């Protein structure tokens, strides 16, 4: 009876100590090491398997291609494609687990697109876009700043039109599913076409008396060609950018400029009023200093009816000395002894000699010249053309050596070397020490 009980106890005890197998459990994950990087692409393996003793990894298309480590780390893929990552994990109890996952390796993005402007950059600007970006499975998004259309999705967009002057950005965004790249180009639209011009007369014609030579300055923008028409002008038409035109008849003349480019044109008009020819130049408020004012470079005593400028001693040079045709001698600040002298005689009256000096005849005192001249202040004021002085006999015989004192207003007649007759009206004599001067109006025939 006792032996039977022992045997039964042994059988029960043995059945209680049977071994339980350890299961293989868990999973592994994959991740891109740098999502902004082009191929080659690095995949990182993070293994979370438990209960395994051995690991058999297979990396299709990867480097390395196999591994027996629990955590094989980083796997490199050099070509795009879809690849399997397989793991067989086992233990000594004969337990195992097989896992298979896929990774998608996409080619790096190398954006390549060009643009071509049809005709020119004058508005409206039409742009043709060519997309040569290599790769499969890419998506494309276009943005056109101020363009028509404003955006487009797809590889090849339609032609884009820009009308607003200035810089406009074309942006292409390319994505391969896990990274995106952008590239931009700038389109410049020229300013809108404007037809515009200004003009000024030749210096000698600034009184706009016929004939008048006019210099035109083209101020048009975004124009490549020009069509001018000049009513009453010579030439009557022109295609030059900045023409010069002569208007020979008095009246109001219309000038038209049509500015063009390869897209459009615009017309601008203006008028020029030409006055009848008086053959008389009127110059007002001319200051001429006494000798000390001139030589001290305070107020000049020399004047040119050609340049219409007063010259002081320090302003006379070899270029302008031959243009001086009026010289005033004021001996002192009391104006007790004054006269106008010929430029070629200036060195005899307290001035430096002038190079290539002109010879001008002056009638300083009409009542002392014994020449029958009696041209009054009233006649000077009323003179609107050269008729009153045209017949005056202004000669060397009449000139003499007259001088005058502190008396004004008074009229001095003169005749230039080139034959132009004129009159000087002294309307004030200002006593100011060594800076004393006379104030004159001058009327002289034109060249």
Whether 320 has a pLDDT exceeding 80, the answer reads: yes
**pLDDT band at 401, cuts 50/70/90?**
low
The CA-CA-CA angle for residues 399, 400, 405, to 5°, reads 95
Q: How far apart are CA 395 and CA 388, in angstroms?
A: 17
Question: According to the model, what pLDDT value does residue 295 have?
Answer: 95
Whether 244 has a pLDDT exceeding 50, the answer reads: yes
Backbone angles phi, psi at 19, to 5 degrees: -75, 140
Average pLDDT rounded to a whole number, residues 125-129: 98
Q: Return the CATH number of the domain spanning residue range 197-274.
A: 2.60.40.10
**pLDDT band at 107, cuts 50/70/90?**
confident
Task: Output the pTM of the full model.
Answer: 0.74
Question: According to the model, what pLDDT value does residue 94 have?
Answer: 85
Yes or no: say if 308 and 446 are a contact pair by the CB < 8 Å rule: no
CATH 3.40.50.450 corresponds to the domain 113-189: no
Whether 178 has a pLDDT exceeding 90, the answer reads: no
Q: Return the CATH number of the domain spanning residue range 28-105.
A: 2.60.40.10
Handedness of CA 408, 413, 414, 419 (dihedral sign): positive
Domain boundaries in the chain? 28-105, 113-189, 197-274, 280-445
Beta bridge partners of 338: 330, 404
Backbone angles phi, psi at 337, to 5 degrees: -150, 115
Of the listed ranges 33-42, 123-132, 408-417, 429-438, the one predicted with least confidence: 33-42
**pLDDT band at 319, cuts 50/70/90?**
very high
End-to-end CA distance of the chain: 165
Q: How far apart are CA 300 and CA 355, in angstroms?
A: 17
Question: According to the model, what pLDDT value does residue 3 have?
Answer: 44
């Amino acid at each position: 009876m006792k032996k039977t009980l022992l045997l039964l106890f042994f059988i029960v005890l043995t059945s209680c100590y049977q071994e339980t197998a350890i299961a293989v459990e868990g999973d592994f994950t994959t991740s891109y090491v740098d999502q902004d990087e082009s191929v080659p692409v690095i995949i990182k393996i993070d293994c979370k398997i438990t209960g395994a003793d051995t690991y058999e990894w297979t990396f299709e298309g990867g480097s390395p291609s196999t591994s027996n480590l629990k955590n094989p780390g980083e796997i490199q893929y050099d070509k795009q494609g879809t690849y399997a990552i397989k793991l067989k994990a086992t233990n000594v109890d004969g337990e195992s687990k097989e896992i298979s996952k896929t990774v998608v390796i996409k080619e790096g993005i190398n954006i390549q697109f060009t643009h071509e402007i049809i005709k020119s950059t004058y508005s409206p600007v039409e742009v043709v876009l060519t997309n040569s970006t290599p790769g499969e499975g890419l998506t494309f998004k276009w943005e056109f700043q101020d363009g028509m259309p404003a955006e487009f999705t797809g590889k090849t967009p339609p032609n884009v039109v820009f009308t607003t002057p200035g810089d406009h950005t074309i942006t292409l965004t390319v994505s391969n599913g896990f990274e995106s790249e952008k590239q931009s180009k700038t389109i410049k639209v020229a300013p809108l076409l404007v037809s515009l011009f200004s003009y000024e007369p030749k210096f000698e014609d600034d009184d706009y008396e016929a004939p008048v030579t006019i210099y035109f300055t083209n101020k048009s923008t975004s124009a490549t060609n020009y069509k001018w028409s000049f009513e009453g002008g010579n030439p009557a038409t022109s295609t030059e950018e900045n023409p010069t035109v002569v208007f020979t008849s008095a009246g109001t003349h219309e000038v038209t400029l049509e500015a063009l480019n390869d897209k459009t044109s615009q017309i601008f008009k203006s008028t020029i009023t030409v006055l009848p020819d008086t053959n008389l130049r009127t110059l007002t408020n001319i200051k001429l200093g006494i000798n000390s004012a001139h030589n001290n470079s305070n107020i000049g005593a020399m004047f040119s009816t050609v340049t219409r400028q007063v010259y002081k001693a320090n302003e006379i040079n070899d270029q302008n000395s031959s243009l001086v045709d009026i010289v005033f001698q004021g001996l002192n600040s009391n104006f007790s002894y004054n006269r106008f002298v010929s430029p070629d005689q200036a060195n005899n009256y307290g001035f430096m000699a002038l190079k290539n000096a002109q010879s001008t005849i002056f009638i300083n005192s009409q009542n002392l010249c014994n020449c029958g001249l009696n041209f009054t202040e009233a006649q000077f004021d009323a003179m609107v053309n050269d008729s009153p002085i045209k017949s005056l006999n202004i000669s060397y015989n009449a000139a003499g050596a007259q001088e005058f004192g502190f008396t004004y207003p008074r009229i001095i007649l003169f005749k230039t070397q080139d034959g132009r007759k004129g009159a000087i009206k002294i309307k004030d004599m200002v006593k100011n020490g060594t800076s004393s001067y006379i104030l004159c109006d001058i009327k002289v025939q034109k060249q």
